[in-house]
Amino acid sequence: MGYKLQDIFEKAITLSGEERDRFIRQACGDDDVLRFKAERLLDTHESLETYDDGATEEAMLTGLAKPEPQQPVEIAGYQITRPIGSGGMGDVYLATRQLQDVTQQVAIKVMKTSNPRPTEKRRFLQEQQFLAQLEHPNIARFIDGGYTTGQHPFVVMEYVSGQHILSPAFHDLPVRKKLGLFVQVCEAIQYIHQHLIIHKDLKPNNILINDAWQPKILDFGIARSLEEDHTQTMTLALTPRYASPEMINQEPLSMATDVYSLGVVLYEFLTGCHPKDSMPNFLATPDLPSVAVLQTSQEGRRSPARLSRHFKGDLDAIIMTALKADPDERYQSVEAFQRDIENFLKFKPISIKQPTLLDQSIKFYQRHKVATILTTALSASIITLMVFVGLQFKDIKQQRTELLNRQQVILAEKEKVYSLSNAFELAFANADPTRSGNAEVSANDILDELNQLITNDVWNSADSQLYLAMGLGQIYLNTGQHEKTVDLLEPFLNGLDDLPEDNQKALLILVLNGDMASLSRSDFEDQYKQLVNRWPEDAGVLQVKGHWLKNQGDYQAAEEAFAAAFEQFNPEQHGYLNNCYLLAGIRSKMSMFNESSELMRHCLSVASAPANDKSLAWQRTEALNLMANNLGYLNQPEASSALTRQVIEERTAIVGADHLYVTDLYANLGSSYSQLGEYDEAHKMHQRTLAKRIELYGENDERVFMTLYNMANNQIRNQQHQKAIDLLMRIIENIDIYDSKYTVNLSFIFQSLSHAHMQLEQYDKAEYFTQEALRVLLPLDGFTGNKNWSRLVLAELAILQGNLAHGEALIRQIEQGLGEQSDPAFMKDVQRVRAMHKSASATID
């Protein structure tokens, strides 16, 4: 029988020495060309079995040119550091170059010979040409090219510090995070294809992930232009374990060739095993990923059985389509492959759908209609038809019912979409400067217009009105306009019992979150009890419960509620980071600063992050900001300020440098500078935040006053107590102290005034402002910590003024009201004042 190249290769790699030579001679017979190809393919396979980890490979045939002995490499403008890899035709070096005051690390690929054959030189120069025209964040960048002092051609590329995609560092990543990284790989390959280039050598070692979690594609040594002939008669340069069947068989190549290699990499990346290990030959079908993963031992929390369930269905179908032996049956572009992965990540239908039994029957009948009529008796046809109809009738009836239900859902959703579109259209129109007379229109102007449209009485659909109101309420909540959330949604509570259960729960959660965040309102206790009694185990309800308990000062119970909510999420779910942040935040509030940061650091390392997800990127900045604040409380202001700068940089990349959510961070930076004793720098940082807040809200906004309050605290730390007092009094003179929205912040101002007067030994004034702070707080539910702090200051002032009995009574009253859940930092203050009382008592005795 005649052997194909593929058959010879697959058999030969299982043999060695004389046994292999004997088989090749027997299989090829007198066909010298076939024998030459087989031997070359085996040579390539052997040369690619080993490689230098992390280095760029040159996957060329060995023996095409005899390499010269390696000479010291000298390239003008570059300092060679060390070799980092070697291939059949070139060596790769790590080098540095000096650009004015900047030193840049680069990777330099140098041909081993100064006198290459024309085909080799053409390939090397072609690689330079390809790299020079590709500018993509996920492709190693071309920098320079030329000849060494020894006349060896070289190409200079961006040096990628990272690990290849199958490195152990990435084994335990969640599936969705792996897919998010892989989407970036697909984007890069699609970009290459748009430049009419196919890579031809996509394998793990040519896909590195750098320290910023950004994939980088390397090595265009055997890439080809789509405009060239791709019959591969010139060379067999490839990596067999990642090569497509058409590459092995030396058939014409296309973009689907790279799709196949990407499919192999993704299969191995997700399952930990190689698809070809379950393939008897190159044209065979590998085990499904959901089957293959059961054969591997997965470390970490994710069991093989759980992964298998995750893969079954869509993910199996996506990967197996990419691995079709016939290029025409694969995804015809990387873009289509990527789109289905993204659809999977977004829980949307993928483009690959299996035909139903009814579809198959109709297609079979259409293909064989004439033959069926001619070869089947009329009676048999009737019987067959009746059986077919009988089998299908029940299913068709069920499908019809499901279709009608879906139509109702579609109509309802259509109504919502129409309402949303119409409302936004009107909101934008009403905010139009030509109508409103307002020269500049802000996002809040449009939201307020939308608010007015939602709250009027001209809606045809109450469902649509509620749908829009809850959406706007969430926006208000996210943007810190908490009272607007409550004002907008509170009227809908009147018809709460008439709403579907899910809407009842969602509405209560939004209203209560807005109420608690506004701080000045707490009149929804009945709704809170209804929420926690009806859905005690729901994660969203547990979050509300945690916030409620925190406001009551019961930190331990709040921590338990947030922990119970957090346990319901895994790193691949939306909301995982937010739940982690809530739990870490309450631990920070309890002065468990190290535990808080450690939890947040763990969650950041395992959370799934689809590519280009700005929401998750934003949650990351919140997490890092919390960690920075923890460092400040741990008296590590230098580390805190460094991390705050990182948060500023990351937020700037998302919303721009002039956004409030960036400029607000300079206040945190100011606090760090203040701790470091750099009071002038701290003042500058606070001024930066102040300027933005005045620009957005005007001079008489609560947020502006709180910035001035932070500046006053910096003055107190700088021993400028009278200046701080003057600034704090100016705030009080410019606000309506009877306006409920200032209630809580007014208590903070009074407490700072008390502290400043205490430092000036003006104890009567300090006592007055402490009493004022307590007077403001007492009518409010919660704020136990703030109330106790004021009582403790009164105790300290009593001791300082010699009234030890009153001081002792106040301390005892505080201690009796405390439990194990109390703030540890406050407990230390109690012990400090208790020690002061003891010392004062001993002095009198």
Catalytic residue numbers? 201
CB 40 within 8 A of CB 69: no
| Alpha carbons 590 and 579: distance in angstroms, whole number | 17
Residue 248, token pair as written in the block: 């092995």
Backbone angles phi, psi at 31, to 5 degrees: -85, 90
Which residues face 215 on adjacent strands? 209
Position of tokens 């993928």?
Answer: 350
| Alpha carbons 637 and 653: distance in angstroms, whole number | 24
| Alpha carbons 386 and 394: distance in angstroms, whole number | 13
Pairing mode, strands 153-158 and 197-198: unpaired
DSSP secondary structure letters along 324-392? -SSGGGS-SSHHHHHHHHHHHHTT---S--PPPHHHHHHHHHHHHHHHHHHHS-HHHHHHHHHHHHHHH
Q: Could you tell me which residues come within 8 angstroms of residue 159 by beta carbon, excluding any fewer than 6 positions away?
A: 94, 105, 106, 107
Q: Rounded to the nearest 10 degrees, what angle do helices 614-633 and 637-655 cross at? A: 160
| Alpha carbons 604 and 558: distance in angstroms, whole number | 22
Residue 762, token pair as written in the block: 């003006």
Backbone angles phi, psi at 843, to 5 degrees: -65, -40
Q: Rounded to the nearest 10 degrees, what angle do helices 501-518 and 525-534 cross at? A: 140
Position of tokens 């005649």?
Answer: 2
Residue 828, token pair as written in the block: 């230390």
Q: Which amino acid is present at 536?
A: P
**Binding residue per annotation — 109?**
yes
DSSP-derived 3-state class of residue 823: coil
Backbone angles phi, psi at 324, to 5 degrees: -60, 135
Rounded to the nearest angstrom, the gap between the alpha carbon of residue 304 and the centroid of all alpha carbons in its chain is 24
Residue 199, token pair as written in the block: 């890579």
Annotated binding site for ATP: 109
Annotated binding site: 109
